[in-house]
Structure 1
Amino acid sequence: MRILVQKFGGTSVATAERRESVASKVSEAVHSGYSPVIVVSAIGRSGDPYATDTFLSMVKGICPDLPKRELDLLMSCGEVISGTILVSTLNSLGLEAVLFTGGQAGIITDKDFGDARIVRVEPGMILEQLAIGKVVVVTGFQGTTEDGQITTLGRGGSDTTASALGVALNAEAIDIYTDVEGIMTADPRIVEDARTIDTVTYNEICQMAYQGAKVIHPRAVEIAMQRNIPLRIKSTFSDAPGTLVTNMCPARGVGTDITTDRIITGIAHTPNVTQLRVLTGDVQDQHLTDKRIFKAMALADISVDFISVQPEAVLYTVRDEVASKAVKILLNMGFEPGVVPSCAKVSIIGAGIAGVPGVMADMVEALSDSGVTILQSADSHTTIWVLVHKENMVTAVQTLHKKFRLGV
């Protein structure tokens, strides 16, 4: 049995016309000899009648502190609605389909309501239906605990569902359908000559997703990578080949100039972050002081990023919306933090960065020539990050896209 997992996002199932486009993709898979397993998100986006955020807004005004268990019950409804409507569409077009919730599909999670992790997948019921020729539709974004409690998988959870099913079913591929034609070298709303990337590695796309690219959730990539199952990012509304995500690394010739080969795959950005600089002084137990700071942030449920621990200072970033809370905590601890609000993290990502001299130098030179001040920097073997003022974010992204010739 040749199994293909196809995931369709909320915009793909938002209207009858778009659901017919989805049905066309499913029919094409069937006629190509595949047994399709379809994963669906809730219909539409915030403001649409059955979107997840719309459901949340209905109860937040009544009880802002509704327990996460009950919120998960509510949030799971959107996918059930879209899944039922899609099954109706497929059946009306002669494709026999059956709908499973996440729990019925065998997705077992931990008990972290609102952001559950998949523990295992028991796909027996799916395989039974595929064996008799049915198209199986599964509600994304959800599962159940060992004792049958409904959970949701956090934002981007339908991507995670698709990858988990792909691994459990040993699928030939996992197709993630969206309203764009693949992974772009940069946000096309910022960079006019941004282009679709033909092939990326799992590591590259994980980094791009973590650094701000919104097309696929990084957790989904990490799951698919466990079994080396190809991911394909495609558009529901075109026949473009999209972006293929595999372990294959782009070839690079020996001694080639970095501006004429694919050292850099793409540019990502994350706006609306605040930099905090905490002077810790020349204390005897420096590591204990650093531990206290990060422990305090964790206890307050504040996620920290872009961490730089120096002999007499600690630098890190938090989201703008929690910055005042973080500052208050630090003040109560006896620190007087330096605060730089409204920043943005801009990242260059590429599997070819490692071991290539001059990439950071080119990045710094390009930004300096464009009048962009670098507030902080860091790097790994596939990514170089810089922190800039938010008003310089667009200039920084455009400058780096041009410097590394990503539009060519």
Structure 2
Amino acid sequence: MRTIVQKFGGTSLRGPQERAAAARHVVAAVQDGLKPVVVVSAMGRRGDPYATDTLLELARGVHPRLAEREQDLLMVCGEIISAVVFVQELRARGIQSVALTGGQAGIVTDGQFGDARILRVDPAPLRRLLERGLVPVVAGFQGVTEDGREFTTLGRGGSDTTAAALGVALRAEVVEIYTDVDGIKTADPRLVPEARTLSTATYDEIVQMAHEGARVVHPRAVELAMRGNVPLRIRSTFSDDPGTLITRHWEVDQVWPDLRQVRAVTGITHIPGLTQITLHTTAEDDQALNVRLFRSLADRGISVDMINVSPRRKSFVVRDERAGEARAALEELGLEPELRPGCAKVTVVGAGMHGVPGVMARVVEALKAAGVSILLTVDSHMTISCLVDGDDLGRAVRALHEHFGLGSVEPLLDGPERAPREQAPAASRGGRDRAPGTAAGEGGA
């Protein structure tokens, strides 16, 4: 069977018009000879009657403390309602369909309420339904414990994780994640209106972009798909644009020969609301001090980022809302931390930058020309991150986006557009989708 997984988020299911648009994609897949498995989130967002946050507010309005077990039992209801309603949408269009909970779809988890880990996925129940010509509609974000007695939820991005897990278990040709944007952008369009939609990117790049602030797809879902070698496609529910194909290096290279040599930077991401904490110390007893200060923060559940440690200076960032706790923890150790709140992290992401000289030089040049001061930097083999003042965030993102030519096709590729040698298998394996075009910005807004 040519199986495809199609996941629809809450904004894609909010009302009758949105659900009709989502159903159209399922009907199109069936007409293309595919066997779709649909995964749905709860309908709408906070304030909508069946949204997860609305259900939680209902319970907490009675009593503010909600036990984790009962919270999960309540939270799975939003997706189950959504699955039943979407089955009705499909039946109204002549598509025979059946609604399933995560457990009924074969998703078995540990017993960690609120952030359960998937232990295994049994694809047999879904395969039996597909063989009968039915379209399963699975409630996302949830599973069931091994004894089958308890509902669990998968934490943030749980419906994306459900879709990726089912795609891997079924060996699907592609997992399509539908949302209210037309794919992964080269930057946040709210800061950079000319940001383009990437027609393809690697798993590693999208994982990094998600961790560094891009919110279109959850990194855990991308990591699952990568381990199972199942392509992901991020698409808009409300258009037929092909969106962004996420796959491995070699499949991307089939679309663009020598891509990694000509596209050092894929996108610019950002995280606002950070506080820089700096400590000036002496070199004596330095290692013991490092242990004490970072252990003290860890014991309080305070996550630190952009860590820079030297014998006489320690610098790192925390979320603004945890800065007060961090200060108190460090002062208890007899330290005198300097805090700089209201900072932002701006990251240049690209699998092609590894081993390429001059990328950092271009980052520094772009920010200097924009009048943006760099407070701190960290890097990896595919990222360069700069801490800047929060007031400079928009200027920094726009400057880097423009400097690396991400808003236009030719500067991005450093030359004329290149024609693909052949269609990448994962790009064409979605029935109606063709292989993506020749440039990273094709199909952009």
Normalised by the shorter chain, which TM-score bucket? Answer: over 0.9
The answer (yes or no) to whether the contact 2:260–2:352 under 8 Å persists in 1 is: no
Summarize the Cα distance change of 1:56–1:334 in structure 2 as closer, same or farther, 3 Å threshold.
Answer: farther
Normalised to the residue count of structure 1, the TM-score between the two structures is 0.95
Summarize the Cα distance change of 1:255–1:12 in structure 2 as closer, same or farther, 3 Å threshold.
Answer: closer
Quick check: 1:41 aligned with 2:41?
yes
For residues 159 and 126 of structure 2, the distance between their equivalents in structure 1, rounded to whole angstroms, comes to 17
Summarize the Cα distance change of 1:253–1:219 in structure 2 as closer, same or farther, 3 Å threshold.
Answer: closer
Quick check: 1:263 aligned with 2:264?
yes
For residues 150 and 318 of structure 1, the distance between their equivalents in structure 2, rounded to whole angstroms, comes to 34
Shift of 1:146: 1.8
Per the alignment, residue 238 of structure 1 pairs with 239
Quick check: 1:283 aligned with 2:284?
yes
Per the alignment, residue 315 of structure 1 pairs with 315
Normalised to the residue count of structure 2, the TM-score between the two structures is 0.87
Quick check: 1:215 aligned with 2:236?
no
For residues 334 and 106 of structure 1, the distance between their equivalents in structure 2, rounded to whole angstroms, comes to 53
Shift of 1:255: 12
The structure showing larger relative contact order (alpha-carbon pairs under 8 Å, at least 6 residues apart) is 2
Per the alignment, residue 393 of structure 1 pairs with 393
Shift of 1:112: 2.4
- Deviation string 1:73-92 (CA, Å, 9 cap, x unpaired) is 12111111111110111112
Shift of 1:208: 0.6
SS of aligned partner of 2:353 = coil
For residues 320 and 172 of structure 1, the distance between their equivalents in structure 2, rounded to whole angstroms, comes to 42
- Deviation string 1:351-374 (CA, Å, 9 cap, x unpaired) is 111011111011011101211111
The 5 Å alignment of 1:329-344 reads: 329-344=329-344
The 5 Å alignment of 1:283-302 reads: 283-284=284-285, 286-302=286-302
The 5 Å alignment of 1:73-222 reads: 73-147=73-147, 148-222=149-223
Q: Which moved more, 1:213-222 or 1:293-302?
A: 293-302
For residues 352 and 36 of structure 2, the distance between their equivalents in structure 1, rounded to whole angstroms, comes to 35
Shift of 1:279: 3.4
The answer (yes or no) to whether the contact 1:39–1:138 under 8 Å persists in 2 is: yes
The answer (yes or no) to whether the contact 2:235–2:244 under 8 Å persists in 1 is: yes
The answer (yes or no) to whether the contact 2:347–2:385 under 8 Å persists in 1 is: yes
Summarize the Cα distance change of 1:253–1:221 in structure 2 as closer, same or farther, 3 Å threshold.
Answer: closer
SS of aligned partner of 2:351 = coil
For residues 257 and 31 of structure 2, the distance between their equivalents in structure 1, rounded to whole angstroms, comes to 38
The answer (yes or no) to whether the contact 2:5–2:36 under 8 Å persists in 1 is: yes
For residues 44 and 93 of structure 1, the distance between their equivalents in structure 2, rounded to whole angstroms, comes to 22
Quick check: 1:11 aligned with 2:14?
no
For residues 295 and 61 of structure 1, the distance between their equivalents in structure 2, rounded to whole angstroms, comes to 37
Structure 1: any 5+ residue segments left out of the alignment? none
What amino acid is aligned across from residue 36 of structure 1 in structure 2? P
Shift of 1:298: 2.3
The 5 Å alignment of 1:348-387 reads: 348-387=348-387
What amino acid is aligned across from residue 172 of structure 1 in structure 2? E
Structure 2: any 5+ residue segments left out of the alignment? 409-445
- Deviation string 1:195-219 (CA, Å, 9 cap, x unpaired) is 1101100000111111111110000
Shift of 1:295: 2.3
Shift of 1:64: 3.7
The answer (yes or no) to whether the contact 1:252–1:262 under 8 Å persists in 2 is: no
Shift of 1:50: 1.3
For residues 206 and 334 of structure 1, the distance between their equivalents in structure 2, rounded to whole angstroms, comes to 38
Q: What is the RMSD computed on CA atoms of the aligned residues? A: 1.7
The answer (yes or no) to whether the contact 1:280–1:289 under 8 Å persists in 2 is: no
Per the alignment, residue 272 of structure 1 pairs with 273
Q: What percentage of residue pairs aligned between the two structures are identical?
A: 54
The alignment of Structure 1 onto Structure 2 pairs a total of residues equal to: 403
Shift of 1:61: 4.4
Shift of 1:58: 2.6
Shift of 1:62: 4.3
Q: Which moved more, 1:241-250 or 1:193-202?
A: 241-250
For residues 128 and 224 of structure 1, the distance between their equivalents in structure 2, rounded to whole angstroms, comes to 23
What amino acid is aligned across from residue 381 of structure 2 in structure 1? H
For residues 317 and 346 of structure 2, the distance between their equivalents in structure 1, rounded to whole angstroms, comes to 13
